[in-house]
């Protein structure tokens, strides 16, 4: 067990009712914007965040409707991660944790199907490659990739500013910080583990048979190196002001 004393169960439960309408709205809006960003990354076809890319690869291996299976895989994995966080980092759990666990995957599912209905899928367009090794067929993929990066960063910034708990995956490196460990290496360890698992899952199902959502690419690199600075930018310019947080 953790060397740090975890909050008693009674205090932990009380924490769920000590929240304001503003916090709830900011947290919900943040999760919805985050879900749209993940769905846009998938349609851009240039790579997604390692965590979500891994889930898409697992969903493809399992079979069935890709978006819905992705949502189910996310819930299942989040439950496992939640147990770990509950045991070792209970202070990072709140209503936002639960909403992220059970809402995000299905919100991504919904946005993905909505984008299909609107025929917003530049990765599926025909024609010659502009940059073949990057998987870039048209400029709209880059536009969607940039929009996805903005939405993901803004969404994370907002839901964290609500201060109602972190997503199970995001809470893992925070537990390391609780134990006086540096954040960056443990965040990179988590993302790197997802990266390796994605490669393994992709090899198992056949790289050529993997959907664009499950392929590692520019978006994967962007999220690793740009998400932090972008989140910090939105913290200072948008989220903290909406949440009434002063630095």
Q: What is the pTM of this model?
A: 0.84
193 has a pLDDT exceeding 80 = yes
Distance (Å, whole) CA 151 – CA 180? 31
Please name the residue that has the structure tokens 């919904």.
110
Alpha-carbon dihedral 204, 70, 163, 153, rounded to 10 degrees? 80
- Tokens representing residue 12 in the block: 């932990």
Q: Which of 31-45, 84-98, 168-182, 218-232 has the lowest mean pLDDT?
A: 218-232
The residue-averaged pLDDT of 123-143 equals: 81
Distance (Å, whole) CA 244 – CA 161? 9
* CA 174 vs CA 169, 180, 187, 245: distances in Å: 10, 10, 9, 20
pLDDT band for position 170 (cuts 50, 70, 90): confident
Distance (Å, whole) CA 11 – CA 234? 31
Distance (Å, whole) CA 228 – CA 69? 28
1 has a pLDDT exceeding 50 = no
The residue-averaged pLDDT of 49-75 equals: 89
- Which pLDDT belongs to residue 185? 83
DSSP string for residues in 196-223: HHHHHHHHHH-GGGS-GGGS-SHHHHHH
15 has a pLDDT exceeding 70 = no
- Which pLDDT belongs to residue 31? 94
């Amino acid at each position: 067990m953790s060397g740090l004393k975890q909050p008693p169960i009674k205090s932990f439960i009380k924490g769920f009712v000590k929240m304001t309408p503003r916090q709830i709205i900011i947290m919900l809006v943040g999760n919805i914007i985050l879900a749209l960003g993940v769905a846009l990354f998938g349609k851009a076809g240039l790579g997604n965040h390692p965590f979500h890319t891994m889930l898409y690869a697992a969903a493809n291996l399992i079979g069935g409707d890709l978006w819905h299976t992705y949502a189910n895989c996310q819930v299942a994995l989040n439950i496992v991660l939640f147990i770990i966080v509950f045991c070792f980092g209970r202070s990072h759990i709140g209503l936002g944790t639960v909403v992220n666990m059970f809402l995000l995957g299905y919100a991504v599912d919904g946005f993905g199907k909505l984008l299909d209905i609107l025929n917003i899928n530049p990765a599926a367009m025909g024609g010659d490659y502009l940059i073949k090794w990057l998987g870039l067929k048209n400029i709209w993929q880059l536009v969607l990739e940039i929009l996805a990066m903005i939405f993901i960063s803004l969404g994370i910034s907002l839901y964290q500013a609500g201060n109602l708990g972190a997503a199970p995956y995001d809470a893992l490196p925070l537990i390391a910080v609780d134990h006086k460990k540096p954040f960056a290496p443990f965040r990179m360890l988590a993302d790197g583990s997802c990266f390796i698992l994605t490669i393994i899952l992709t090899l198992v199902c056949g790289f050529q048979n993997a959907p664009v959502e499950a392929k590692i690419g520019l978006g994967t690199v962007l999220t690793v190196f740009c998400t932090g600075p972008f989140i910090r930018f939105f913290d200072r310019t948008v989220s903290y002001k909406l949440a009434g947080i002063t630095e």
